[in-house]
Amino acid sequence: MRIVADVMGGDQAPVAVIKGSVMALERDAGLTMVLCGPKAVIERELGYLNAPRDRIEIVDAPDVIEMAEAPVTAIRQKKNSSLVVGMNLVAAGQGDGFISAGSTGAVLAGATFIIKRIKGINRPALAPILPAKRGGRVLLIDCGANVDCKSEFLRQFALMGDAYMRTVTNAPEPRVALINNGAEPEKGNELTKEAYKLLEKEPSIQFMGNLEPRYILSGAADVVVCDGFVGNMLLKSLEGASVFIFDSLKDIFMQSFATKIGAMILKPKLRSFKRTMDYTEYGGAPLLGVAKPVVKAHGSSNARAYSNAIAQLAQMIRGDVVGKIAQSLQASADQQ
Amino acid sequence: MRIVADVMGGDQAPVAVIKGSVMALERDAGLTMVLCGPKAVIERELGYLNAPRDRIEIVDAPDVIEMAEAPVTAIRQKKNSSLVVGMNLVAAGQGDGFISAGSTGAVLAGATFIIKRIKGINRPALAPILPAKRGGRVLLIDCGANVDCKSEFLRQFALMGDAYMRTVTNAPEPRVALINNGAEPEKGNELTKEAYKLLEKEPSIQFMGNLEPRYILSGAADVVVCDGFVGNMLLKSLEGASVFIFDSLKDIFMQSFATKIGAMILKPKLRSFKRTMDYTEYGGAPLLGVAKPVVKAHGSSNARAYSNAIAQLAQMIRGDVVGKIAQSLQASADQQ
């Protein structure tokens, strides 16, 4: 299996990308990494590491797409950027999957224009995995790729999220829910009311109905579906609440000698819990709906987070998530 | 000042409403409470309390609107319900403000049809107050009254939220932000992009631009504006995150003898912090945009929460929030 990495994407690139790639190679003997980026930079970084060079290929790509660039323009103009070169390799079948921690807009634009969509999919969607109660996981789709959606897009998100969770978590029948402002079928805005009707009659998924956002982290569903604007709001508000609470706890712990003692006892456990709240721990967000497996690693990924995201991409490739999405679409079309 | 209370609205009604009313009377010598509900029930409950009867009026209203009833139908058919009778009193000028912990839909429908909107306001909005860093407060408008919005509604929400915070918090120039999926002006879906343009040129507010939901609780803004669907999602996801984290902490605290000791030391401080996270502590959510002050108390309000919500309504009345909203609309129309 050959995974192509955008060496220059991400806040800690290229170091975290190259280190993370080497960590992934150490964990997975069936893996070859194709590193796309400025050759001299990659060679130099690899020089510091004890890397399995027989499973590393370097493809020179001197240009870099910056975070602030307009995604579509950048993709069109910077033909020699690590992102464009890497995606072209994967599109041409010279790689089995693509990973980048670069700008979400650029990854999305590149995947849509270069790797292209699965036939029948209107809009690819970004689907991060969130923590749920007692070590569970829940896939949120879409979290920001499509800020204005039609109900049909949401139906496709449901099929894609279902295919991903079936493959990667081995849950034979993921419970799929529609994020809404009430549990009753008649609740919602125009979009969710229409989407409910589509999902209700969708034969190829286990649709459990509407779910209010307060239950996302409770583990009540395996896949939660919403438009990209709402998904982005949810992701960022969960993040905000978590930061607010942990910051406030820190203030409480520092209030007196007694609270410091109490905090000291609890610290190791709290730290590991805080880590489960951090969605970068679970790798990246798969970009579902494009014709090859693509994972968008978190922009702030360090080497460990990046290697987790590579492992996630490897799972997507081995489980043929792309093929399963295409099959789901077909099965759904046949039955209607 | 005469405040009219819907005695039969709320999970803990009528007891919490009547007790809460008496608590509010004890705290506020300038207050008279008009209790609407089944007379015999109110008389009996008051009999258990040491209540200042000279400042309590009872208006008999034998019917009850249940949580599950379709709001508009209930308002039209149950003319003798505590909610309809109470709202009619306020609409007729026999009360200065109205409070209910009953069904949000019924309060909204009743306020719109009976008390009616302020001239120039398209849609009343529900605006709960959330905790922010270091004891701050932030008003979220709308949190669910209007699930499908036009950009003009959002402009009006901004004016209403601004008028409320100026009056109730004595902040002379509240910072108003538009909730969006990125800070840059060009970010957003169709609705927020249009709303940005309206808010940007709105002379009567301090518009600080877009705000991502992760910063809502950071205290970066005093008023945060969004459509009611998104607001409902945000409110419920903040709630969900808070429940998830506190439940997980509880699990951590019970893990061993040592963690139990640590937890015991921290417990009082944690409990008071958890209380600041509970938005019912701040009273209720004002329903802004209707022609008389209305507060929707949380459905699960106990007597203390209810008395806080009455105190909040008294502030709205004394500060003439309704008048200030009308003035803002006028000033804005004059300048355009």
Q: Which residues of B touch A213 (CB under 8 A)?
A: 233, 236-237, 240
The CATH T-level fold of domain B2-121+289-327 is: Isopropylmalate Dehydrogenase (3.40.718)
Q: Which CATH number fits domain A129-276: 3.40.718.10, 3.60.70.12, 3.50.40.10, 3.40.640.10?
A: 3.40.718.10
Which residues does residue A178 pair with via DSSP β-bridges, in sequence order? Answer: A210, A225
Q: Which residues of B touch A262 (CB under 8 A)?
A: 261-266
**Cβ contact A148–B253 (<8 Å):** no
Q: Is the pLDDT of residue B75 over 80?
A: yes
Which residues does residue A295 pair with via DSSP β-bridges, in sequence order? Answer: A99, A286
Residues carrying CATH 3.40.718.10, chain B: 2-121+289-327, 129-249
Band (pLDDT 50/70/90 cuts) for residue A241 is: confident
Return the pLDDT at A98. 98
Q: Is the pLDDT of residue B264 over 90?
A: no
Q: What is the DSSP letter of B55?
A: G
Contact A296, A105 (CB under 8 A): no
Q: Is the pLDDT of residue A82 over 70?
A: yes
Nearest residue on chain B to A251, judged by CA atoms?
B134
A6-20, B58-72, B112-126: the lowest-pLDDT one = B58-72
The ipTM assigned to this model is: 0.88
Q: Token pair for residue A116?
A: 């292209």
Q: Which residues of B touch A237 (CB under 8 A)?
A: 213-214, 216, 233-234, 237-238, 241
Characterize the bridge pairing of strands B32-37 and B2-6.
parallel
**Cβ contact A266–B263 (<8 Å):** yes
Distance of CA B29 to the CA centre of its chain: 23
Q: Is the pLDDT of residue B282 over 70?
A: no
pLDDT tens digits, one per residue of B284-325:
999 999 999 999 999 889 999 999 999 999 999 999 999 999
Q: Token pair for residue B142?
A: 């709308």
Separation of alpha carbons B147 and A181, rounded Å:
9
Band (pLDDT 50/70/90 cuts) for residue B134 is: confident
Q: Which residues of A touch B230 (CB under 8 A)?
A: 229-230, 233
Nearest residue on chain B to A255, judged by CA atoms?
B269
**Cβ contact B241–A236 (<8 Å):** no
Residue ranges of E strands in chain A: 2-6, 32-37, 56-60, 97-100, 125-126, 129-132, 136-141, 175-179, 206-211, 223-225, 285-288, 294-296
Question: Rg of chain A's alpha carbons, rounded to an integer?
Answer: 21
Q: How many CB pairs under 8 A join A and B?
A: 149
- pLDDT higher at A112 or A263: A112
Q: Is the pLDDT of residue B148 over 70?
A: yes
Return the pLDDT at B246. 86
CATH 3.40.50.10190 fits B129-249, yes or no: no
Band (pLDDT 50/70/90 cuts) for residue A280 is: low
Q: Is the pLDDT of residue A225 over 90?
A: yes
Give me the mean pLDDT over the B270-286 stretch. 78
- pLDDT higher at A31 or B136: A31
Instruction: Count CA within 13 A, CB hemisphere, residue A24.
Output: 35
Return the pLDDT at A243. 85
Return the pLDDT at B210. 97
Give me the mean pLDDT over the B35-57 stretch. 96
Q: Is the pLDDT of residue B244 over 90?
A: no
Q: How close does chain A come to B317, measured CA to CA in Å?
A: 31
Q: Is the pLDDT of residue B279 over 70?
A: no
**Cβ contact B240–A229 (<8 Å):** no
Give me the mean pLDDT over the A69-75 stretch. 87
Return the pLDDT at A91. 97
Residues carrying CATH 3.40.718.10, chain A: 2-121+289-327, 129-276
Among A293, A292, A296, which Cα is nearest to A280's?
A296
Residue from B138, B192, B225, B236 to probe the interface with A (highest A Cβ count within 10 Å): B236
Contact B286, B163 (CB under 8 A): no
Q: Is the pLDDT of residue A68 over 70?
A: yes
Q: Which residues of A touch B255 (CB under 8 A)?
A: 269
Separation of alpha carbons A210 and A216, rounded Å:
11
Q: Token pair for residue B104?
A: 């949000």
